[in-house]
Structure 1
């Protein structure tokens, strides 16, 4: 038997870690791009270039990046699966680099806005594809942990952005803000240097009919050989899921159809997850932390930069907790716990800022620190992996793109309105975010199925038609037809039942094996027919 295939001389979990590292650099760029503008909003050198813009225009200067990212996600939605996960990431990194050059060379408002839009467009592509690529490469048991590691690097990007802004604030002249703008290119170079040497998603390769390449990529990621039973079985499960999904014709409109697999419902849940994350208020601090500490709590410019930089360090340390709990506790519980904690923190911030004494202002800053612990525990890692786990392969990229459109649309909304909210309604801004966090909890409880540790292909069977009464026969129904479609409430209930989930996984293995055996019989039949023709 030939040796196991490798990439960069790595295989198995070591290769999954390499994919995670490359994905993490892409999300480090994401975090950096979210964070570096926060320091510039309090920089006199930067503000002077744009004639000291008012709160509304300043908010748009920051939020224009989110507009570009939203269009990048829409572009990915329209183009679908034509280019694969790796080429899309490469294109995104190149576009971000072009946008960074435009921003760093700016001498006027129009050029800076174009640079922000272009860089955002590239990042919109990357943030759509990266979570899907990593989710499809990782094992079911480690998906959440790999995503948690990736998201910790997003926070590392925020840390670098905040401390670079703080360090550059001591330098006079335009270098104070031009260097932070140009620094985005460093992360793009790292991504461009790594991606060509890493495997493409085996599931994507199966979807486009490149089964030999899919087998090699999957074997390398699992540390085995293409002919080993475990690799062959996982490949058959992927092919089975593709066959079930392929019974419906594929187009971009499928995200709005049931398609035999509750496609539209699953896309709507993925979209809402991004909505709830952004409306939690987290990007108020990520994108406008120094502005909030200075104008809402009353700190000086340097104090605001220092406290904001410290917040990102604390944020990073908090992000290490999900590494150990995200695949043990489950997505639903963490979503609800995070929203409860964030809601309480935002309510306390409203009280402290509303009273308005300086000591309580600092207490509000402490509460906003704690807010980030609940965010990292409940939503940060979970939200980015959840849509990729929930969506069927046929809709994973387009549905994921719509989810990312939600991410950037509501990030833009929050970043755009926050300076205006703080200026006009003060402490009541925090009440708005508190209410949204509390409303999130029942939505998750009733509408979000559990996906932790489930094979991606098994999730389809949770939503598939079931014979007899609605879901009464357990997992005996199948994808495709004849049965009754379970309600989302029933899917949620069944996804939290260990017995039902175990039956679904067993059913997936059985059906994948039966399909493989049927294909083998058909292949033998075709070969026999050819031999008979030759004899004749």
Structure 2
């Protein structure tokens, strides 16, 4: 994949970069970390199919409940994971900054193994299932924040979008594998083994993540932040496959050093409240945080996880009534997601860019959802009858929706929120974004089963709601999302207008003073005005 990427990626950053930096090490490192995405995907994909297995429903008492009560219990089982994910993503930034990205990811792998073991051993006891999913969720949520952070800080700028977006590819690969695990267990296993094996195999990506982190290096940018410059230089040189004294390595180190020194002078301390002041008191940083939050809300409100969690039920509502057929269609859905995500990462992510990908897929996703909604509203499937041609088109629309999502709002959001924050705030910014993603993932997971049985006959209103969100996202991306492809992480301040490094320093400032000025460009885009950090915070 590495050689193919360097052949198809077309952006200015690659023209002057030495070819040695696009080597196998950076791809192996990214793949090792991206097993965090496979963990996310396996947990997401397994549970939807398990909930429809008769053996699971009998073991946990779902078959004796009314449709509404059953939908509530299913939603509780699914959404417990998201609750854990929210808190895991929210606190992971502290561990990432204190102990490093690599060590924190290894910790996530260990916690996930404990959680998945509890799920597999729950034996019909709902409280054990809930606790197991909550613990697993904590690890999945933390890893969802750590992986894009770790990968973006190691990746060469020209292919950073593809490498960071590999997280999404591993998510959809995990979902695809999970769908086929469920289908295989339904066909070839009997009794409790049907769902126990599926639940236990959720831990496989965690094992791979743990092993991968044992053989991977720490982020050179985190080492630099921790004042371990010798290790940072050695690690960066190894990842770039160049000697330490090579001009490219020295230039990247100098850029990291300059950016960190500037940020360290911007605010006196590096405590929690100092970073909060820096994030929310400086307009450019605040804009980046709000943009990250907005992107993650939009990603979830496309409705993609409504399909991921409840695909068998959705296919049944479209006329595929048998559990076996529904799981088979769900497996095909997973393959479509995986193939289209790989296509995006290889051919589009660092060529077409982030902004255009978000714009056109917003409209395409909305049209797909609206067609399904109109079909269920005006020509609903009849139980036991053959699926009409319009129904097959609706099923195709599910697959097309998955394809469009993988060409835009799936991978791009993770790429974007991991690359735009400043170095001091990157872990916190990505943590807030990931927590937002899991919060709205929880909302979707909890609300969708009830929407499917209450918002119009057959749940047709559900598709109109998610489709309308998709159309609205076009305007969000058009007005608020600038292009960032091919730019280094240290250049993001120039796009978002926080400061211009090395200029307009306060005359009374010392290297450790918080009075170093932030610089704002005038309306002509050229004239700069210096203000202290506190003045900037008060003014904005």
Aligned to 1:271: 293
CA distance in 1 between counterparts of 2:417 and 2:405 reads 17
Say if 1:194 and 1:80 are closer, same or farther in 2 by CA, change over 3 A: closer
Aligned to 1:454: 487
Aligned to 2:364: 341
Aligned to 2:314: 292
Aligned to 2:99: 83
Aligned to 1:97: 113
Aligned to 1:493: none
Shift, 1:63, TM fit? 1.3
Shift, 1:24, TM fit? 2.5
Say if 1:90 and 1:141 are closer, same or farther in 2 by CA, change over 3 A: same
Say if 1:472 and 1:483 are closer, same or farther in 2 by CA, change over 3 A: farther
Aligned to 1:235: 253
Contact 1:71 1:124 (8 Å CA) reproduced: yes
Shift, 1:379, TM fit? 1.5
CA distance in 1 between counterparts of 2:520 and 2:396 reads 55
Aligned to 1:44: 54
Contact 1:342 1:437 (8 Å CA) reproduced: yes
Contact 1:327 1:453 (8 Å CA) reproduced: yes
Matching residue within 174, 178, 200 for 1:157? 174
Shift, 1:366, TM fit? 0.8
| Alpha-carbon displacement from aligned partner over 1:182-209 (angstroms, at most 9, x marks no partner) | 1122222222112122111111111111
Whether 1:251 aligns to 2:301 is no
Length-normalised TM-score, structure 2 = 0.84
After TM superposition, list the pairs within 5 Å mapping 1:88-167 onto structure 2. Answer: 88-107=104-123, 108-167=125-184
Shift, 1:304, TM fit? 0.8
Shift, 1:261, TM fit? 6.4
Q: 3-state DSSP class of the match of 2:407? A: helix
Aligned to 1:404: 434
Contact 1:255 1:264 (8 Å CA) reproduced: no
Matching residue within 464, 473, 483 for 2:498? 464
CA distance in 2 between counterparts of 1:130 and 1:479 reads 36
After TM superposition, list the pairs within 5 Å mapping 1:57-76 onto structure 2. Answer: 57-76=73-92
After TM superposition, list the pairs within 5 Å mapping 1:388-427 onto structure 2. Answer: 388-425=418-455, 426-427=459-460
Q: 3-state DSSP class of the match of 1:141? A: helix
Moved more, 110-119 or 254-263: 254-263
| Alpha-carbon displacement from aligned partner over 1:476-497 (angstroms, at most 9, x marks no partner) | 6789779999x99xxxxxxxxx
Aligned to 1:437: 470
CA distance in 1 between counterparts of 2:151 and 2:531 reads 26
CA distance in 2 between counterparts of 1:373 and 1:238 reads 37
Say if 1:29 and 1:481 are closer, same or farther in 2 by CA, change over 3 A: closer
Shift, 1:92, TM fit? 0.3
Matching residue within 11, 15, 27 for 2:25? 15
Unaligned runs of 5+ residues in structure 2 are 1-19, 382-386, 501-518
Matching residue within 12, 30, 35 for 2:40? 30
| Alpha-carbon displacement from aligned partner over 1:305-362 (angstroms, at most 9, x marks no partner) | 1111111111111112212111111111111111111111111110111121432333
Q: 3-state DSSP class of the match of 1:262? A: helix
After TM superposition, list the pairs within 5 Å mapping 1:367-386 onto structure 2. Answer: 367-386=397-416
Question: How many residues get paired?
Answer: 478
Say if 1:105 and 1:142 are closer, same or farther in 2 by CA, change over 3 A: same
Q: 3-state DSSP class of the match of 1:234? A: helix
Moved more, 185-194 or 88-97: 185-194
Unaligned runs of 5+ residues in structure 1 are 1-9, 489-536
CA distance in 2 between counterparts of 1:193 and 1:480 reads 47
Say if 1:424 and 1:33 are closer, same or farther in 2 by CA, change over 3 A: same
CA distance in 1 between counterparts of 2:364 and 2:427 reads 32
| Alpha-carbon displacement from aligned partner over 1:229-277 (angstroms, at most 9, x marks no partner) | 2111111111111122212133334346445462222111111111100
CA distance in 1 between counterparts of 2:358 and 2:530 reads 29
| Alpha-carbon displacement from aligned partner over 1:130-165 (angstroms, at most 9, x marks no partner) | 111000100110011113334222211111101110
Query: What is the root-mean-square deviation in Å for CA atoms of aligned residues?
Result: 2.3
Shift, 1:278, TM fit? 0.5
Aligned to 1:205: 223
Contact 1:296 1:422 (8 Å CA) reproduced: no
Q: 3-state DSSP class of the match of 1:378? A: coil
